Protein backbone atom coordinates (compact mmCIF):
# COMPACT_ATOMS: atom_id res chain seq x y z
CA UNK A 1 0.00 0.00 0.00
CA UNK A 2 1.38 3.37 -1.04
CA UNK A 3 -0.11 5.22 1.93
CA UNK A 4 -2.48 5.31 4.90
CA UNK A 5 -4.79 7.71 6.71
CA UNK A 6 -3.79 9.07 10.09
CA UNK A 7 -4.55 11.62 12.76
CA UNK A 8 -2.23 14.34 14.04
CA UNK A 9 -1.59 13.90 17.75
CA UNK A 10 0.73 16.84 18.33
CA UNK A 11 4.36 17.96 18.32
CA UNK A 12 7.29 17.04 20.52
CA UNK A 13 11.06 16.76 20.16
CA UNK A 14 13.63 13.97 20.28
CA UNK A 15 17.41 13.85 20.51
CA UNK A 16 19.30 12.39 17.56
CA UNK A 17 22.55 10.42 17.65
CA UNK A 18 24.57 13.65 17.72
CA UNK A 19 22.67 14.99 20.72
CA UNK A 20 20.77 17.57 18.67
CA UNK A 21 17.19 18.34 19.74
CA UNK A 22 14.99 17.67 16.69
CA UNK A 23 11.38 18.96 16.49
CA UNK A 24 8.97 16.29 15.31
CA UNK A 25 5.28 15.44 14.94
CA UNK A 26 3.49 12.41 16.39
CA UNK A 27 0.91 10.84 14.06
CA UNK A 28 -1.54 8.03 14.78
CA UNK A 29 -1.48 5.95 11.58
CA UNK A 30 -4.26 3.42 11.00
CA UNK A 31 -5.22 0.72 11.31
CA UNK A 32 -7.18 1.21 8.10
CA UNK A 33 -9.77 -1.11 6.54
CA UNK A 34 -9.95 -1.84 2.81
CA UNK A 35 -13.47 -0.81 1.79
CA UNK A 36 -13.22 -0.93 -2.02
CA UNK A 37 -10.87 -2.33 -4.66
CA UNK A 38 -10.43 -0.56 -8.00
CA UNK A 39 -9.42 -2.74 -10.96
CA UNK A 40 -8.03 -1.88 -14.38
CA UNK A 41 -10.83 -3.76 -16.16
CA UNK A 42 -13.66 -1.95 -14.40
CA UNK A 43 -12.19 1.40 -13.32
CA UNK A 44 -9.22 1.87 -15.62
CA UNK A 45 -6.63 1.79 -12.84
CA UNK A 46 -5.67 -0.33 -9.86
CA UNK A 47 -5.98 1.05 -6.34
CA UNK A 48 -7.54 0.36 -2.99
CA UNK A 49 -9.89 2.54 -0.99
CA UNK A 50 -9.23 2.47 2.76
CA UNK A 51 -11.19 3.89 5.70
CA UNK A 52 -10.07 5.12 9.10
CA UNK A 53 -11.58 6.00 12.51
CA UNK A 54 -14.94 4.66 13.69
CA UNK A 55 -18.10 6.70 13.29
CA UNK A 56 -21.59 6.31 14.76
CA UNK A 57 -24.07 4.62 12.45
CA UNK A 58 -26.74 7.23 13.22
CA UNK A 59 -24.45 9.89 11.71
CA UNK A 60 -23.86 7.89 8.51
CA UNK A 61 -25.99 7.91 5.37
CA UNK A 62 -27.69 4.68 4.33
CA UNK A 63 -25.65 4.54 1.15
CA UNK A 64 -22.40 4.66 3.11
CA UNK A 65 -23.68 2.14 5.66
CA UNK A 66 -24.25 -0.30 2.79
CA UNK A 67 -20.83 0.51 1.38
CA UNK A 68 -19.13 -0.35 4.67
CA UNK A 69 -21.22 -3.50 5.18
CA UNK A 70 -19.91 -4.87 1.88
CA UNK A 71 -16.45 -4.72 3.41
CA UNK A 72 -17.71 -6.21 6.66
CA UNK A 73 -16.74 -3.23 8.78
CA UNK A 74 -18.37 -0.49 10.85
CA UNK A 75 -18.87 3.05 9.49
CA UNK A 76 -15.71 5.13 9.27
CA UNK A 77 -15.03 8.85 9.25
CA UNK A 78 -12.37 9.23 6.58
CA UNK A 79 -11.85 7.54 3.20
CA UNK A 80 -8.91 7.73 0.84
CA UNK A 81 -7.54 5.88 -2.20
CA UNK A 82 -3.99 4.63 -2.59
CA UNK A 83 -2.11 2.81 -5.32
CA UNK A 84 -0.94 -0.69 -4.51
CA UNK A 85 2.70 -1.73 -4.30
CA UNK A 86 3.95 -3.85 -7.24
CA UNK A 87 2.71 -7.41 -6.81
CA UNK A 88 0.55 -6.54 -3.81
CA UNK A 89 -2.97 -7.93 -3.56
CA UNK A 90 -5.62 -6.94 -1.04
CA UNK A 91 -9.17 -8.07 -0.30
CA UNK A 92 -12.24 -6.33 1.03
CA UNK A 93 -12.10 -6.04 4.79
CA UNK A 94 -8.32 -6.42 5.06
CA UNK A 95 -6.70 -4.45 7.88
CA UNK A 96 -3.69 -2.35 6.83
CA UNK A 97 -1.43 -1.32 9.72
CA UNK A 98 1.48 1.04 10.23
CA UNK A 99 3.85 -1.83 9.45
CA UNK A 100 3.48 -0.97 5.76
CA UNK A 101 6.06 1.77 6.49
CA UNK A 102 9.71 1.33 7.45
CA UNK A 103 11.96 3.21 9.86
CA UNK A 104 14.24 5.93 8.46
CA UNK A 105 12.32 6.36 5.20
CA UNK A 106 10.70 9.46 3.70
CA UNK A 107 6.99 10.22 3.37
CA UNK A 108 4.70 12.97 2.04
CA UNK A 109 2.01 14.22 4.41
CA UNK A 110 -1.17 16.04 3.29
CA UNK A 111 -3.62 17.82 5.57
CA UNK A 112 -5.90 20.83 5.90
CA UNK A 113 -4.04 23.86 7.23
CA UNK A 114 -5.39 25.84 10.16
CA UNK A 115 -7.97 28.43 9.08
CA UNK A 116 -7.07 32.00 10.01
CA UNK A 117 -10.09 33.82 8.61
CA UNK A 118 -9.94 36.97 6.47
CA UNK A 119 -6.45 38.46 6.76
CA UNK A 120 -4.63 41.43 5.29
CA UNK A 121 -1.56 41.37 3.08
CA UNK A 122 0.94 41.70 5.95
CA UNK A 123 -0.16 38.47 7.63
CA UNK A 124 -1.19 36.66 4.45
CA UNK A 125 1.82 37.42 2.22
CA UNK A 126 4.40 39.04 4.50
CA UNK A 127 4.11 42.57 3.06
CA UNK A 128 6.31 45.07 4.89
CA UNK A 129 3.87 47.95 5.11
CA UNK A 130 4.86 51.62 5.38
CA UNK A 131 7.13 51.00 8.40
CA UNK A 132 7.83 54.62 9.44
CA UNK A 133 4.75 56.66 10.30
CA UNK A 134 6.24 59.98 9.18
CA UNK A 135 5.49 62.72 6.62
CA UNK A 136 1.79 62.67 7.27
CA UNK A 137 1.24 58.94 6.90
CA UNK A 138 -2.17 58.16 8.36
CA UNK A 139 -3.67 54.71 8.82
CA UNK A 140 -1.47 53.19 6.11
CA UNK A 141 0.95 51.09 8.18
CA UNK A 142 -0.42 47.71 7.07
CA UNK A 143 -2.05 48.70 3.78
CA UNK A 144 -1.16 46.95 0.48
CA UNK A 145 -0.35 50.19 -1.37
CA UNK A 146 -1.00 50.90 -5.03
CA UNK A 147 -2.23 48.09 -7.26
CA UNK A 148 -1.00 49.70 -10.47
CA UNK A 149 -4.39 49.33 -12.12
CA UNK A 150 -5.26 52.80 -13.46
CA UNK A 151 -6.61 53.70 -16.91
CA UNK A 152 -4.83 50.63 -18.23
CA UNK A 153 -5.76 47.83 -17.63
CA UNK A 154 -8.67 49.41 -15.68
CA UNK A 155 -9.08 46.23 -13.68
CA UNK A 156 -7.32 44.14 -11.10
CA UNK A 157 -5.44 41.17 -12.51
CA UNK A 158 -6.42 37.74 -11.25
CA UNK A 159 -4.00 36.39 -8.68
CA UNK A 160 -3.06 39.83 -7.33
CA UNK A 161 -1.81 39.48 -3.76
CA UNK A 162 -4.52 41.11 -1.67
CA UNK A 163 -6.35 40.46 1.57
CA UNK A 164 -8.55 37.39 1.74
CA UNK A 165 -9.35 34.05 3.31
CA UNK A 166 -6.20 32.56 4.80
CA UNK A 167 -5.62 28.92 5.69
CA UNK A 168 -8.17 26.13 5.62
CA UNK A 169 -6.70 24.70 2.41
CA UNK A 170 -5.08 21.38 1.52
CA UNK A 171 -1.33 21.51 2.05
CA UNK A 172 1.23 18.80 1.33
CA UNK A 173 4.56 18.59 3.13
CA UNK A 174 6.94 16.50 1.06
CA UNK A 175 9.95 14.40 2.05
CA UNK A 176 9.50 14.19 5.80
CA UNK A 177 11.79 11.65 7.43
CA UNK A 178 10.34 8.96 9.68
CA UNK A 179 12.33 9.09 12.91
CA UNK A 180 10.57 6.26 14.71
CA UNK A 181 7.65 3.83 14.43
CA UNK A 182 5.76 2.52 17.47
CA UNK A 183 3.66 -0.33 15.98
CA UNK A 184 2.10 -1.39 19.29
CA UNK A 185 0.44 2.03 19.57
CA UNK A 186 0.09 2.74 15.81
CA UNK A 187 2.29 5.83 16.17
CA UNK A 188 4.67 7.40 13.69
CA UNK A 189 7.14 10.15 14.59
CA UNK A 190 8.25 12.30 11.64
CA UNK A 191 10.78 15.10 11.56
CA UNK A 192 9.33 18.61 11.33
CA UNK A 193 5.76 19.87 11.26
CA UNK A 194 2.73 18.70 9.31
CA UNK A 195 -0.31 20.81 8.28
CA UNK A 196 -3.43 20.90 10.42
CA UNK A 197 -4.51 21.23 14.02
CA UNK A 198 -4.25 18.57 16.70
CA UNK A 199 -6.76 15.80 16.05
CA UNK A 200 -7.11 16.60 12.35
CA UNK A 201 -6.99 13.86 9.70
CA UNK A 202 -3.98 13.60 7.44
CA UNK A 203 -2.86 11.38 4.58
CA UNK A 204 0.59 9.79 4.65
CA UNK A 205 2.08 8.64 1.34
CA UNK A 206 5.33 6.83 0.57
Distance, in Å, from the CA atom of 138 to the CA atom of 99, rounded to the nearest integer, reads: 60
Please state, for a pLDDT cut of 90, what percent of the chain lies above it: 71
What is the domain range of residue 25?
3-114+170-205
Distance, in Å, from the CA atom of 143 to the CA atom of 53, rounded to the nearest integer, reads: 45
> Cβ of 26: how many Cβ atoms within 10 Å?
19
Distance, in Å, from the CA atom of 76 to the CA atom of 55, rounded to the nearest integer, reads: 5
Q: Is residue 155 part of a domain?
A: no
Q: Which helix (H) or strand (E) holds 8?
A: strand 3-15
In this structure, are 140 and 198 located in the same domain? no
User: Does 165 have pLDDT greater than 90?
Assistant: yes
User: Max Cα separation, the chain?
Assistant: 73
In this structure, are 22 and 105 located in the same domain? yes
pLDDT for residue 24:
95
Listed residue (181, 188, 176) closest to 108, CA to CA: 176
Q: Is residue 7 part of a domain?
A: yes
In this structure, are 110 and 124 located in the same domain? no
Is residue 55 within 8 Å of 75, Cβ to Cβ? yes
In this structure, are 133 and 65 located in the same domain? no
In this structure, are 127 and 95 located in the same domain? no
Q: Is residue 88 part of a domain?
A: yes
In this structure, are 131 and 188 located in the same domain? no
Question: Any idea what DSSP says for residue 10?
Answer: E
What's the structural domain count of the chain?
A: 2
pLDDT for residue 168:
95
Q: Express each pLDDT in 91-147 by its tens digit.
A: 999 999 999 898 889 999 999 999 999 999 999 999 988 877 777 777 788 888 888
The per-residue DSSP string of 46-106 comes to -EEEEEEEE--GGGS-HHHHHHHHHTT---EEEEEEEEPPTT----TT-EE-GGGS-TT-E
Distance, in Å, from the CA atom of 56 to the CA atom of 71, rounded to the nearest integer, reads: 17
In this structure, are 103 and 130 located in the same domain? no
Q: Return mean pLDDT, the chain.
A: 91
Q: Which helix (H) or strand (E) holds 42?
A: helix 40-43
Preceding omega of 202 cis (within 30 degrees of 0): no
pLDDT for residue 150:
81
In this structure, are 128 and 92 located in the same domain? no
pTM, entire model: 0.84
Q: Express each pLDDT in 55-105 by its tens digit.
A: 999 999 999 999 999 999 999 999 999 998 888 888 999 999 999 898 889
In this structure, are 109 and 120 located in the same domain? no
User: Does 200 have pLDDT greater than 80?
Assistant: yes
Please state, for a pLDDT cut of 70, what percent of the chain lies above it: 100
In this structure, are 174 and 107 located in the same domain? yes
In this structure, are 107 and 127 located in the same domain? no
User: CA angle at residue 123 from 122 to 128, to 5 degrees?
Assistant: 25
In this structure, are 183 and 102 located in the same domain? yes
Backbone angles phi, psi at 98, to 5 degrees: -65, -15
Amino acid sequence: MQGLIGKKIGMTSVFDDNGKNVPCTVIEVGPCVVTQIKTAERDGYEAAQVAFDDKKEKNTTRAMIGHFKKAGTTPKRRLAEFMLDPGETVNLGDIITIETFNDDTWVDVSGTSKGKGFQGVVKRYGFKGVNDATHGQHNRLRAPGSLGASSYPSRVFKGMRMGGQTGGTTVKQISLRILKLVPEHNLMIVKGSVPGAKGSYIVIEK
